[in-house]
Amino acid sequence: MRCVLIASSAAELLFYWADAAFLRRLQPPAAAAVQGPAVEDSLNTLFAPLIISCTALLEKLSDTYTCFRTEHGQHLHVLHMFGDCLYIAVNGDGMESEDDLRRTLFVLRRLVEAHCGLVTLDSHLIRKELRPVDSEQRERVWSLLRGLLETYLRLREEDQSFAVEAVERLIHPQLCEQCIEFLERQVVQYINASPERGGDEVGHAFLLVHTKLLAFYSSRNASSIRPADLLILILLVQDLYPSQSAEEELGPQSEAGKVLPQGPKRSESIPVSSPSSHGAAEKESDNQDTDDLSTPEVYYTPQPSPGRHSTGSESSSESPEPAAAGDADSADVQVAEDLLQTLEPLVPEASNPRRIFLDVNMRDGYCPLLPHTMHCLPLWPGISLVLLTKGPTIHVAVTLHQLLDGFLLLEKKLEEGQEVGAPRSFPFLAELRQRMDKFVKKLSGQDVQLQNAWVEFKNKIFSRSEPGSSLELLQALGTVKRQLCSVYRQLFLSSASQSLSQGLRDRAQKLMRGKLLDWRDFLLVKSRRNITMVSYLEDFPGLVHFIYVDRTAGQMMAPSLSVAEKSSSELGKGPLAEFIKSKVWSLVALARRYLQKGYTTLMLQDGDYCCSYFLWFENELGYKLEVMEVPALSDDSAPIGMLAGDYYRKLLRYYSKNQQAEVVKCYELLTVHLGIIPSELVVQQACDLARRLWEPSRIPLL
């Protein structure tokens, strides 16, 4: 029984997601038909006292509770305040820990930022975005977030890359290099030179096989994308086109021409352009001529495995918990009707251009939440081409970020009680004033409210007679911030963005399908069995499983771990594979708890198995650096990972303070051995395994 919701400080419901069990508890079978407004009213009644008390504690004590249990300890509640929005997660079946719920809240916050950008800095405008007045638009926004949240929860339980929050590469250097070259010459350069691109420029293009990254190309002028945002993009693609079973994907070649046997998943993006027709690639035939790169070679064959159809099978069901058999009472019918009502208006297009806000590293420095447009072009079920474009107004977004960042810094100093009488002593204030004057002048009176708010603020803080009080300055500053966010919202959220023409997308889709046609089955099999334990058993006797993570690049390597009944692997099928999977997931959670307390090495005997975890630092040449004490974090801090605050980026910055002369790399290794293996041998094998895996992790992203 699970529920996640977002509420304002005034106890207004801004978003909710709940599974069927929670809705049944909320609306008993004898209740009237469950409808959207009825559920919202029930949630308001249930959570209003909690929200109000939390807000009161923050006002009176500047502190509040972050976690508690109710009803004999069975119902766990986790709360976190992001700005003026309170995020609440509830679990009543004991299947999720406090860390799991807090991680869900932080990931939900990241998803809201990815779709709303810098508007999240203003409480009034973010309420408008999350809870539009129009009920149909509200359901559209909520369905989008619900679909993404459900997809994340599913992938976190099924996929190792989302369990450890790192991107998994499809290990095939030759094909990777060929695809990067093809993306550069035939896709990115062609589109950027075409007059049909409508002002947009392709900055990044990459190929995905399920959740695994095959190739990634960035144009020369493009800003770098952080690994955390790449993982978010993979999540978005999986939400649009969920992975199917291996049997459906590896169907007869005669059906390969069908881009999608079923429509995309329900969580449609908020439209950013005029509706486009379904991809014309559905009309293409697979009987196309391929280039010389598809000639048979030895390395095209997968590593020895039980067989072509011995692949994993991932469920594409959307519900995190199946309905119990025979439970066909009125409550279930009501829940189903409510969900169907939510899903009806959502039929996304095949390419589905989606506005997305990503953190980038520019030449001038780090810039968060820059607007991009994501074009997802499905090649076959399980294989997708993704194009990231930026529009001609990207420089306006950078300017707005710089202005908002300056006002946030000024607001912080005023709240700390610094002397208002000497604002000119602030070294950044003169530059901030100059930039703001220039920006307002460029608007040429198009936004009168921003101009008036800025004039009022200038008159208060730069007054030669007597500057305004701290309270007056903070109020005026808040008005300026809101108007800046309003301009941002009008430019990048409210207005329709330009996107690549359908012809350019169809051409890229057609060429890429022709390029990978002879590789299709290989890639689908390889994605299910990317790395097998067979090649490691001889050199590492007793090793059952491992996960190797390059935290600097945000990439991971691990043997495939499938628990589907129809699949076959080194672990067999069914209970044994599920048992090992539970051990691995438990080790990941335990390693995070100890790392949060400052421990970088862990080894424990867990029944018949020995589990170990190592975190270490190296220089660019691969030499291990001396161990230093890792700072311990509080229990309510951001969860360790990439999606919830990017802990490892901060850890690298912390460690690099004492290593100014060289580049610092961070790595993690988690291993599961048989319990009879001595601990000394486990450590030795971990060192040898890390050295062996060091090279493949350096496949260039370009």
- HSE at residue 481, side-chain half, CA atoms within 13 A, is 22
pLDDT given for residue 389 in this prediction = 94
79 touches 7 (CB < 8 A): no
Residue 254 confidence class, pLDDT cut points 50, 70, 90: very low
Residue 579's alpha-carbon distances to 232, 562, 612, in angstroms, are 29, 11, 17
Neighbour tally for 613: CB within 10 Å: 23
For 635-670, the DSSP string reads: TTSPPSSSSSS-HHHHHHHHHHTT-TTS--EEEEEE
**Percent with pLDDT over 70 in the chain:** 78
pLDDT given for residue 497 in this prediction = 60
pLDDT given for residue 362 in this prediction = 81
Tell me which H or E stretch contains 457: helix 448-461
Query: What is the three-class DSSP state of 72?
Result: coil
* pLDDT tens digit sequence for 519-561: 999 999 999 888 888 889 899 999 999 999 999 999 999 998 8
Is the pLDDT at 643 greater than 70? The verdict is yes
Q: What is the mean pLDDT of residues 563-570?
A: 57
Residue 310 confidence class, pLDDT cut points 50, 70, 90: very low
pLDDT given for residue 291 in this prediction = 37
Is the pLDDT at 365 greater than 60? The verdict is yes
Residue 364 confidence class, pLDDT cut points 50, 70, 90: confident
Give me 451's structure tokens: 């101009």
Q: What is the mean pLDDT of residues 445-460?
A: 87
Residue 284 confidence class, pLDDT cut points 50, 70, 90: very low
Is the pLDDT at 172 greater than 60? The verdict is yes
* pLDDT tens digit sequence for 35-71: 567 888 889 889 999 999 998 998 888 888 899 998 7
pLDDT given for residue 563 in this prediction = 62
Q: Rounded distance, CA 296 to CA 298, Å?
A: 7
Give me 669's structure tokens: 């290794």
Q: What is the mean pLDDT of residues 567-596?
A: 84
Neighbour tally for 658: CB within 10 Å: 10
Q: What is the mean pLDDT of residues 297-326?
A: 38
Is the pLDDT at 251 greater than 90? The verdict is no
Q: Rounded distance, CA 593 to CA 20, Å?
A: 31
Q: Rounded distance, CA 437 to CA 430, Å?
A: 11
Helix segments in 546-614, DSSP class H: 575-596
Q: pTM to 2 decimals?
A: 0.84
- 255 compared with 240, residue with greater pLDDT: 240
Q: What is the mean pLDDT of residues 139-158?
A: 95
- What are the b/e assignments for 549-583, b being 16+ CB within 10 Å? bbbbbbbbbbbbbbbbeebbbbbebeeebeebbeb
Is the pLDDT at 5 greater than 90? The verdict is yes
* pLDDT tens digit sequence for 75-133: 899 999 998 999 999 998 888 999 999 999 999 999 999 999 999 999 999 999 999 99
Helices (H) and strands (E) in the chain, counts: 21, 17
pLDDT given for residue 665 in this prediction = 92
Residue 282's alpha-carbon distances to 245, 323, 353, 515, 586, in angstroms, are 21, 35, 18, 16, 43
Is the pLDDT at 685 greater than 90? The verdict is yes
160 touches 558 (CB < 8 A): yes
Q: Rounded distance, CA 320 to CA 513, Å?
A: 33
Is the pLDDT at 300 greater than 80? The verdict is no
* pLDDT tens digit sequence for 151-171: 999 999 999 999 999 999 998
Residue 352 confidence class, pLDDT cut points 50, 70, 90: confident
* pLDDT tens digit sequence for 486-530: 999 999 998 666 678 889 999 999 999 999 999 999 999 999 888
Q: Which of 383-392, 401-410, 525-534 has the lowest mean pLDDT?
A: 525-534
pLDDT given for residue 266 in this prediction = 45
pLDDT given for residue 569 in this prediction = 58
Q: Rounded distance, CA 182 to CA 217, Å?
A: 9
For 498-543, the DSSP string reads: P---HHHHHHHHHHHHHHHGGGHHHHHHHHHSSS-THHHHTTSTTE
How far separated are the first and last CA of the chain, in Å rounded?
Answer: 44
432 φ/ψ angles, rounded to the nearest 5 degrees: -60, -40
